[in-house]
Amino acid sequence: VLDDILTARPSRNSTVVGSARGTLVWDSLNSNATSFLQTMTVEIKGRRGIISLLGQNHFPEKVREIAIVGGTGEFSLVQGTAKIST
């Protein structure tokens, strides 16, 4: 389970723009990947809503690409991909 803040830049002093909540589930004992389901409550430049992500998180890779599968509010019907890193 995760519950993290979202910031504008990858710095602890950066402006908070929302929060990220979701689950990571190890779905195999033989792999370095998790099932990834996350919702992000976001407010960026006055736009508010929720963005939903779903996919496999192959965490040994430095940068991973996760599908954006929908949203609400200002992000209604959003789709695409997000690049994540640890």
Nearest to 7 by CA among 50, 47, 40: 40
The fold of the 2-85 domain, in CATH, is AOC barrel-like (2.40.480)
pLDDT number for residue 25: 77
Q: Give the pLDDT of the chain (86 residues) as one tens digit per residue.
A: 888 888 888 888 998 888 888 877 777 677 777 888 888 888 877 888 999 999 888 888 899 999 999 999 999 999 999 998 87
pLDDT number for residue 76: 94
pLDDT number for residue 1: 82
